[in-house]
Structure 1
Amino acid sequence: MPDARTQVLDAAEDLFYGRGIQSVGVDEVRAAAGVSLKRLYQLFPGKDALVREFLHRRDERWRRRLAEFVAQRDSSEEQVLAVFDWLHTWFSEPGYRGCAFINSFGELGAVSPSVVSEVRAHKVALRDYLGGLVAAAGRGPELADHLLLLVEGAIVTSAVLGDPAAATQARTVAAALLVRPE
């Protein structure tokens, strides 16, 4: 049985990702987690702390899953393109609602510096990860910026249109960028 902290974070992630942060009250998270309100507030002194930890934990898990998938490819060029293959798999999952970070920024970016900080940290880490893949492929760092735009555009497009094909389309562009001389 998971500990109370894990139960609360699991419940918060399901509710926040599925319905949005502002539409979910702390009492709903408490009820879904099966903990007392007192225990929830012992673990997370406020909703802002809970949201921060939800985003932090999701970042670690999301980036780990991506890296594990990409590492299965042999060549550095295949690893770059595998990012988009993984995105297609993620976009095809039941309950996919786009990027939790973009969604959170859209909801709370204007009023929550801690959300902005978590979102930026996630996007910088993703850009750095892409930079490592690009460097291993012998390409300059500006390609990582281009790939980040492709990744982010595919995420938003797939969520809005409900079509995982955005990942395949972005992969096609990424492949063209890989063969283009710098």
Structure 2
Amino acid sequence: MLDITLTVDGVTRPLAVDPRTTLLDALRERLDVTAPKKGCDHGQCGACTVLVDGRRVLSCLTLAVQQDGAQVTTAAGLGEGDGLHPLAEAFLDHDALQCGYCTPGQLCSAVGMLDEAGRGHASHATADVAAVPTLTDEEIRERMSGNLCRCGAYANIVSAIREVAS
């Protein structure tokens, strides 16, 4: 067992983990943080997406020991106080969820994606990689393509993200 410390949603949490423990399993099974979901456990669905030091991470593919000392933000930690994050509000307003299983990962991915776009990072859909990206629907779809929704709420997810991006 190795001793590590994670700051999860603003709370510093020490724990001892087996070096093979994924960040997702450490969060869910050891720290009782259930916002990130275990979907495929292979990094293909995005349900486990969290922000680590502000960057999008698939927590099922990341070892907890690699994140020792990191700031981990889950969908539960996105809002301020009792208020919802603007993206969570937009998801509700645009009916961008059905069963809700993928929603925490979608929200964390969208927050990370908006930050990446704001810093000028291009995507595969960006026509001019030297220009500041314009978040068209095509850009949003491409940037969110690692997050799957089995219910098919994609059109409303794109609308919600577009509203917050503008």
TM-score by length of 1: 0.28
Return the index of the structure with the highest Cα Rg. Answer: 1
Q: Which has the higher helix share?
A: 1
Q: Which has the higher strand share?
A: 2
TM-score by length of 2: 0.30
